[in-house]
Structure 1
Amino acid sequence: MGKESNTIIGILAGTAIGATLGILFAPDKGENTRNRIADEAILQKDRLANSAVEFRDRVSNGATDLRDRVASTVGAQKQTLDEQVDSIVTNASHKADDVITTLEKKLAELKAKNKKLQKTS
């Protein structure tokens, strides 16, 4: 934004300096000089208006691009987070199966020991 501000300031300063020098060194009639100053002022006003419109468009486009990039990044991070959650759930499910299998084996061993104890008693 600094570059655009400097451009606008430069245009305004150039207009003021040009108008002042034009008046000081004008060999022409006052009416002609005033007409040229008016024409130059209109020209500079139009240039400034065009610069402002271009600046607004650049800012608007930049904001749109930034919004799109942020949305894309957030979407990618959400997808990554969803994938991580799915992976954790899957791993937990496999771990739960392993724990259940181990508990079933221990239970079978305990039942077998219990039967031996009941036969000997």
Structure 2
Amino acid sequence: MKNNNIALGILGGLAVGAVLGILFAPAKGCETRKKIVDKSTDLAESLKDSSDKLSNVISQTINDLKNESQQLLGNTKEVIKAEIANADNLKNINKPTL
């Protein structure tokens, strides 16, 4: 989560810096507006790419955790079955004979 905040902070800083640089540069209004639109489009694409990458990482992490938990549950079931079998064996060993 911390890396995501850092990435968003960097992207935000770049966007603010680009807009301020364009606004303070000596250019005609129509050129400045075009530059702002172009930079905004680039920023939007960059944010979309970053969010897609983040979404992929989150999806992969969820799938990995799901697989690990299913494996752990399977192992736990096997251990429980083995312990039940051991308990049954002990019960049969200690069973009084008539």
Aligned length: 98
Structure 1 runs of 4+ aligned residues shifted over 6 Å read none
Which residue is 1:7 aligned to? 7
TM-score, length-scaled by structure 1: 0.74
Unaligned runs of 5+ in 1: 105-121
CA–CA distance in structure 2, aligned partners of residues 42 and 8 of structure 1: 16
Which residue is 2:81 aligned to? 82
**Residue 35 (structure 2) pairs with residue 69 (structure 1):** no
Per-residue deviation, 1:19: 0.8
Secondary structure (helix, strand or coil) at the match of 2:37 reads helix
Per-residue deviation, 1:18: 1.5
Q: Which amino acid aligns with 1:4?
A: N
Structure 1 vs Structure 2 CA RMSD: 1.4
Which residue is 2:20 aligned to? 20
Secondary structure (helix, strand or coil) at the match of 2:62 reads helix
Percentage identity across paired residues of the two chains: 16
Which residue is 2:36 aligned to? 37
Unaligned runs of 5+ in 2: none
TM-score, length-scaled by structure 2: 0.89
Q: Which amino acid aligns with 2:21?
A: L
Question: Between Structure 1 and Structure 2, whose CA radius of gyration is higher?
Answer: 1
